Amino acid sequence: MNMIQAINSAMDVVMARDPDVIVMGEDVGYFGGVFRATAGLQAKYGKTRVFDTPITECGIIGVAVGMGAYGLRPVPEIQFADYIYPALDQLVSEAARLRYRSAGEFISPITVRSPFGGGIFGGQTHSQSPEGIFTHVSGIKTVIPATPYDAKGLLISAIEDNDPVLFFEPKRIYNGPFDGYWDRPAKNWSAHPAGEVPTGYYKIPLGKAAIARAGNDLTILAYGTMVHVAIATVEEAGVDAEVIDLRTLVPLDIETIEASVKKTGRCMVVHEATRTGGFGAELAALVQERCFYHLEAPVERVTGFDTPYPHSLEWAYFPGPVRIGQALKKIMKD
């Protein structure tokens, strides 16, 4: 399966098991979503469980919070993560805090799916990576898969979780892994082991990272599309790097990170989001706090730039193999 099919399969499997799971969002019903992630679900589960919504992100999330308070498990889709900002208040002030402020009497078991990230010539409004805004918020979980296999297992866990979860889907790798070279032919998940996705039910726990590539000389912390770009780059550079696919940013798997950095002595953080105040800063701070005496070089951050996401200059903005390669040289020189 590709990642879209895996995500579709996750919803299918959970909806078949739990009649309280409902899917809602712009275009998700009859049409099956602009990326086809919800294709076939309405035909299978009916219009009261899979339905289109008005174009109001604040309404979609607010309604989902109310449905969650009733006892359902809504899976709202925000069509592009760039459009999540009108829903920010409902996510940050409501969903994320409901359990806390009601001392557990009301909860928000919602899973917000949203395609994010660049590399598809989507310009400023179809390319952003807003995860850092949400990892800063107490009470909401952030999950980002890097493979179809993980996407399905993580999404099932997210839907069954009793806390609000943001499930950001890296749309650049919906159809296949991506090595960071935009002018090379795209690869297909069918030739990739993580494209082998069981049709049935399985879960990948939230809060557990994966070692995407084992290595000894450097630890690269990445998630989503950047896992694939990092692996391609280190293999070309001949650096024996360990690439950790974080899978969930909150809760974070600090044990895996700490063990790896203490082993390798070097750490690089890679993400597409803008640099200042990004999640990479949190990762760098954590590594510095916990592994300082094991470090042989300063923690490097490779990120998008602090500009709005450009359209025509997308590939100059994108943290591809060239930017990662230069950072590799810098961090490996000592």
Partner 1 sequence: MTGEPRANLPPLSLHVPEPKFRPGDKAEFSDVIVPPAGSGRRPDPAEPAAQFHELAYGLVRVLDDEGNAVGPWAPRLTPDTLRRMLRYMALVRAFDERMFRAQRQGKTSFYMKCTGEEAVAVAATMALQRDDMTFPSYRQQGILIARDWSLVDMMNQIYSNKGDRLQGKQLPIMYSTREGAFFSISGNLATQYPQAVGWAMASAAKGDTRIAATWCGEGSTAEGDFHSACTFASVYRAPVILNVVNNQWAISSFSGFAGAEATTFAARALGYGIAGLRIDGNDALAVYAATEWAAERARTNQGPTLIEHFTYRAEGHSTSDDPSQYRSANEASDWPLGDPIARLKGHLVRLGEWDDERHAAQDLELAELVKRCQKEAEANGILGHGLHQPLDTLFDGVFEEMPWHLKEQRAQMLAEEEASGRPWALKS
Residues 6+ apart with CB under 8 A from 114: 77, 78, 79, 80, 81, 84, 166, 167, 168, 169
Per-residue binding letters, 11-50, with partner 1 (x by CB under 8 A): -----------x-------------------------xx-
Q: Is 53 helix (H, G, I), strand (E, B) or coil?
A: coil
Q: Per CB under 8 A, which of residues 120..149 are in contact with partner 1?
A: 138-139, 141
Q: Which stretch binds partner 1 (CB under 8 A): 27-35, 55-63, 195-203, 311-319?
A: 55-63
**Block residue for tokens 């961090």:** 331
Per-residue binding letters, 294-323, with partner 1 (x by CB under 8 A): ------------------------------
End-to-end CA distance of the chain: 42
Residues 6+ apart with CB under 8 A from 99: 106, 107, 108, 139, 163
Between 64 and 197, name the residue whose CB sits nearer to partner 1: 64
Q: What is the DSSP letter of 278?
A: -
* Residue 109 tokens, joined: 């078991």
Determine which residue in the list 207, 265, 310, 325 makes contact with partner 1, applying CB under 8 A.
Answer: 207
Tell me if 251 contacts partner 1 by CB under 8 A.
yes
Between 48 and 199, name the residue whose CB sits nearer to partner 1: 48
Tell me if 259 contacts partner 1 by CB under 8 A.
no
Q: Are 119 and 318 in contact (CB under 8 A)?
A: yes
* Residue 201 tokens, joined: 């039910």
228 noted as active-site residue: no
> For binding to partner 1 (CB under 8 A), which residues are involved?
22, 48-49, 53-54, 56, 58-59, 61-72, 74, 86, 89-90, 93-94, 98-107, 138-139, 141, 161-163, 207, 250-252, 254
Catalytic residues: 126
